Structure 1
Amino acid sequence: MDYTIVAVVIFVVALLVVGGAFLIRPRRPQAPDERARAGEREEGGAHTAVAEREEAEEPGDAAGPVTVAEPPTVPPPAPPIETPPPSAGRLVRLRARLARSQSVFGQGLLGLLSRDTLDDDAWDEIEDTLITADVGVTSATQIVQSLRTKVKVLGTRSPEEARTLLREELLAQINPDLERGVRTEPHGDRPAVLMIVGVNGTGKTTTSGKLARVLVGDGRSVVLGAADTFRAAAADQLETWGGRVGAPVVRKDEGADPASVAFDAVSRGIEDGVDAVIIDTAGRLHTKTGLMDELGKVKRVVEKKSQVDEVLLVLDATTGQNGLRQARVFAEVVNITGIVLTKLDGTAKGGIIIQVQRELGVPVKLVGLGEGPDDLAPFDPEAFVDAILGEG
């Protein structure tokens, strides 16, 4: 027997047994943590892509809502500063408006004086017309007596002569020689101080604002004092007027002491070196003693800082005789230096100018002839008489 062949066969069989055992060896099972790590590696790419897509779609902190910054608030631009017209010639420019309101007064008198016969009844009618226009009984009587004397001396008279006679008499009663300038010149380092006083509803705050325009139009600098602390709207209104011409307004909370506001306004005027300080006071009934005493206090407190150059009483021309009673009481409390007659365009009773001046010895210095911002004018007696008589 050939042992060599047998050995070869045995060797081959052994190799086949060993190789088959290696090929059919079972795979070792994975531990749970290994399977988890394998899953994370398989899904990691997908998770990363989703996260990147969400971050691109929803930027910001996922813990709360996204805050969008609002654009900054831009304040509205301040209104431009106006340049009012100068006071010179204002009443002349407003003559047509004045003539319309006073035509009943002037033209009625001219018609009566131009009659062919002037008997007692005619003269009584002339006197009644004057009284109706609030000239006052005393002044009306004087005018009629003077006219009757001149008519007798002249004899016959034409309409032109009647106009001349009436013009002379009205001017004499208005007294063109009275000092009507509003004192607005500073004295030293102190500004001129003007107090505006009057009863409720006469237009004091509006007059204060319009007067500031008159002064600015004349080249003067102004500070406004809102001493009407009973009405918050009064201070707001005054600020509107001041803002239009660049005049600062000193004000305090509603209910503050008016004398304190007036004092601070004058102090501000001194600090700023302005020409004039206009103090708007609260409206008060001339029959209320407490309110009138308070007005006197305002004036006394202001005078600790600077002298008061003007105390201008605002009268409504439509109130007639009641306006005269108001004027008397105010004059007793604060020594009125001048009259501002408002709403003169809304009444035919311009004769109140004659009566107020006669009773108080105080001149009408300013007249209001409308609602426009520049309808306050220095009173010119000749322009006034010419307007109501229809002269150019």
Structure 2
Amino acid sequence: MDFNDLLPYLVGVPVLAAGVAAAVRLRRRPTDTPRTDTRPAETPPAGGAPAAGTAVADRPAAPADTGPAVPDEGPEVTGTTDLLEVPEDLATPPLETPAPTAGRLRRLRERLARSGSPLGTRLLGVLSRDQLTEDDWDELEETLLLADVGAGPTDELIEALRTRVRVEGLRDGEQARAVLREQLLALVDPTLDRTLHTTPTTGEDGARVPAVVLVVGVNGTGKTTTVGKLARVLVADGSSVVLGAADTFRAAAADQLETWGSRVGVPTVRSDRDGADPAAVAFDAVRAGVRDGADVVLVDTAGRLQNKAGLMDELGKITRVITRTAPLSEVLLVLDATTGQNGLNQARVFGEVAGVTGIVLTKLDGTAKGGIVVAVQRELGVPVKLVGLGEGPDDLAPFDPEAFVDGLLQS
């Protein structure tokens, strides 16, 4: 092929390129240069043709014969549409009504029964055997130790069971269950005072002083969530509450606590900056509780490791600052029930620094580590007062020893 044969193709290429470029410009023009017409739209004349000055959307033309007219579905929403007014009843979400605290632990009993309650099942399985050998007693001891009951309480329980079996004998499974229930209940100790002290007092000047509850614990145990759930417990019982967001190191802690409080109409005192002095926030919360005549002030604190001296000293400072205005009614230590013996080390140090008066055990439902209830009470000499039953907002309940043991034994 010579040059003359190629000439038509060479001439056609620029023409084709120019045509493509023009088509692209025509296609892009409506979106590249949007037009906003501020004049009011006129009523279209008969036949459907748009009136002069009315913006036309980039859509294909309708066929000539379209059949019956389709009803207009309303004005088209554009970027220039005015904001719609939200009714007042929709602008503010309605306050939630927390579930009554009575009967909450019954749910724990049901969940423990559904989960198979490994601790109770294993203990009953061994005790129900016809003849108990030394291997059987060793198995019982191992089961109790794995459930974090602790060495001392385990020895006490095994010795008590040996005595009962030797004196009374175990004729059937029901008798074994009754004996085991009685001994486990003695270990959990129903005589301990598990009352949550949240009654306001009267100061030296005759003024009303709210009960102050300080919530402490290590990182990751769910302190802020526990404080929010505890606020719901108190509101359900008819108390007025003020929350203090003294965890100023975790950026989302104050927001999280404020969200919990807003759901049940409880105000939150917080700092407007991260890293503020937590003792100052706690002091302001107590002062707000006194001013507003609240029944209870709940103070959330930052998670801290029990072996960090600086953080533990800071916790002592928070305690001293609060007591300048009002006495501490409760210092609740939040423990994760699944941490086992490590939780005892945490409890020991916090008890020395903050004067713990009660334990809140989270993640207790369905766990094989139920023995931590016994161990932590023996370690600190203070009772388990509240237990976490799950992830729901009202899954925090006052601890009932009998319901707990019955849940373990599925009775």
Give the Cα separation in 2 of the matches to 1:303 and 1:293. 16
2:96 to 56, 62, 82: 82
Structure 1 contact 102–349 (Cα < 8 Å) conserved: no
Asked if 1:309 is matched to 2:345, the reply is no
1:369 Cα offset (Å): 1.1
Structure 2 contact 108–407 (Cα < 8 Å) conserved = no
Alpha-carbon RMSD = 1.7
The question of 1:247 aligning with 2:266 is answered yes
115, 120, 131: which one aligns with 2:134? 120
Q: Deviations over 1:28-61 (max 9, x none)?
A: xxxxxxxxxxxxxxxxxxxxxxxxxxxxx99xxx
The match for 2:214 is 195
1:162-198, Cα deviation, whole Å (9 max, x unpaired): 0011001111111000000111111121100000000
Structure 2: give runs of 5+ residues left out of the alignment: 1-51, 54-79, 203-207
**Superposition TM-score, scaled by structure 2 size:** 0.77
TM-superposition CA deviations, 1:349-375 (whole Å, max 9, x none): 100000000111010000001000010
Counterpart of 1:271?
A: 291
Which residue identity is paired with 1:249?
Answer: T
Change in Cα spacing, 1:230 to 1:315, as seen in structure 2 (3 Å) is same
Distance 1:226 1:362 in 2: 26
Question: Does the aligned pair in 1 maintain the 2:111–2:366 contact within 8 Å?
Answer: no
Gaps of 5+ in 1: 1-56, 59-67
Q: Which amino acid aligns with 1:299?
A: T
Q: Please state whether the residue corresponding to 2:375 is helix, strand or coil.
A: helix
Separation in 2, partners of 1:311, 1:145: 35
Q: In percent, how many aligned pairs have the same letter?
A: 66
Does the Cα contact within 8 Å between 1:98 and 1:344 map onto a contact in 2?
Answer: no
Counterpart pick for 2:399 among 367, 379, 388? 379
Pair 1:205-2:205 in alignment: no
CA apart distance, 1:100? 3.7
How many residue pairs match? The answer is 326
1:103 aligns with 2:117: yes
Q: Which amino acid is the alignment partner of residue 246 of structure 2?
A: A
| TM-fit CA distance, 1:78 | 1.6
Matches of 1:173 and 1:278, distance apart in 2: 31
Q: Normalised by the size of structure 1, how large is the TM-score?
A: 0.80
* 1:137 Cα deviation from its structure 2 partner: 1.1
Give the Cα–Cα distance (whole angstroms) in 1 for the partners of residues 176 and 190 of structure 2. Answer: 20
User: What code does the residue aligned with 2:300 have?
Assistant: D
Report how far residue 72 of structure 1 moved.
8.4
**In structure 1, C-alpha distance between the alignment counterparts of 2:248 and 2:162, rounded to whole Å:** 53
Q: Do the aligned partners of residues 202 and 268 (structure 1) sit closer, same or farther apart at CA in structure 2, a change above 3 Å counting?
A: same
Distance in structure 2 (CA, Å) of the matches to 1:246 and 1:78: 11
Structure 1 residue 93: Cα displacement: 3.1
Specify which of 136, 139, 156 is matched with residue 153 of structure 2. 139
2:244 matches 1:225: yes
Distance in 1 (CA, whole Å) between partners of 2:299 and 2:366 is 26
CA contact under 8 A between 2:108 and 2:404: conserved in structure 1? no
Partner SS state of residue 344, structure 1: coil
